[in-house]
Amino acid sequence: MLKQFRRLLSAILIYPWAQLTLVLTLLFFSALPTQAQSQPVRVIAFGAHPDDCDQGSGGLAAKYAALGNKVKFVSLTNGDAGHQSQQGEELAKRRRAEAQEAGRRIGIEYEVLGNHDGGLLPTLDVREQVIREIRQWKADIVIAPRPNDYHPDHRYTGIVVQDASYMVTVPDIVADVPALRQNPVFLYFSDHFTRPQPFRADIVVSIDDVYDKKIDMLDAHVSQFYEWLPWHDDQLDQVPKDAVARRKWLMARKPSVIQTVKPEWREPLAKRYGAQAGHIQYAEAFEITEYGRQPNDEEILKLFPFFPETATRH
């Protein structure tokens, strides 16, 4: 081994071609991004409707996608009831197209399942759909709503993902898809509900750098943010007709649509971002559930590769 090393060193010192090869090799590997040298993080998020994941984790998804990681959003219903004048297959087709456009805008996959809006139940069939999705995606992280929410579809999405969280590792359950050998980390989206217990912000991610990308995603859901939700809130007459103007109108509604940093998120932000935390305006927060893998700080840094290491390890 020592002789081989001496021969290589002699070649580098004597032959110009060897020196050039060494320099080019070093330059090539130094130019590779750190993220590309490791396995990509695989994230799957479940929402009840074709815009739910975008609201809860659109910024997070954009950050992962920008680093070459793999993200998939899944809507458990087809959204065929969420409109004041359209319904059924016509609306489902429209909302599926909007979801796919939202995913295209930030470079992620977006799937809309065929369960009916307003009729989702935590049945064995739906649980098996979720188990298949998680296994096929080979997920490292799974995100879903908490099972306490104003909307039954949201609640049952949380329950069915919770019910699947252990079963994804059991080979005899949904045996047509190989079971995962390691349980993913399961997270909850943030919410404002307090009973039976309030949301706990375990991980808070700054989305200031992808704020526009999250707006782009929401803007793709025309039927929701410019029609159904304003109509439901008796604000439809306030929505501009021009596409550019209505996007600005959507941005102006940021406290309810884009997640501004809440006071109780400041401490977990400081843990991850150090002195930068005080300047962060927009963020998305997540609670680590009790049902999946429980990551330590070192694993959190690997799963969330955009956190500054120095701030996390202070």
Q: Does pLDDT of 58 surpass 80? A: yes
Q: What is the rounded CA–CA span in Å between residue 259 and residue 255?
A: 6
Does residue 197 sit within a domain?
A: yes
Domain of residue 56 covers 41-312
Q: Residues 227-274: pLDDT tens digits?
A: 999 999 999 999 999 999 999 999 988 766 778 899 999 999 999 999
Does residue 24 sit within a domain?
A: no
Does residue 17 sit within a domain?
A: no
Q: Does pLDDT of 314 surpass 50? A: no
What is residue 257's predicted lDDT score, i.e. its pLDDT? 72
What is residue 124's predicted lDDT score, i.e. its pLDDT? 98
Q: What is the rounded CA–CA span in Å between residue 6 and residue 242?
A: 71
> DSSP string of 269-308?
HHHHHGGGGGG--BEEEEEE-SSS----HHHHHHHSTTS-
What is residue 137's predicted lDDT score, i.e. its pLDDT? 98
pLDDT band at 209 (very low <50, low <70, confident <90, very high): very high
Q: What is the rounded CA–CA span in Å between residue 184 and residue 164?
A: 11
Does residue 6 sit within a domain?
A: no
Confidence (pTM): 0.87
Does residue 4 sit within a domain?
A: no
Q: Does pLDDT of 123 surpass 50? A: yes
3-state class percentages of the chain: helix first, strand second, coil last, to nearest 5: 55, 15, 35
Q: What is the CATH number of the domain that holds 67?
A: 3.40.50.10320
Q: Does pLDDT of 296 surpass 50? A: yes
Does residue 123 sit within a domain?
A: yes
Does residue 25 sit within a domain?
A: no
**CB 171, CB 153: distance < 8 Å:** no
What is residue 253's predicted lDDT score, i.e. its pLDDT? 83
Does residue 29 sit within a domain?
A: no
Count up the domains in the chain and report the number. Answer: 1
Task: Give me the phi and psi of 44, to 5 degrees please.
Answer: -130, 135
Mean pLDDT of the chain: 90
pLDDT band at 31 (very low <50, low <70, confident <90, very high): very low
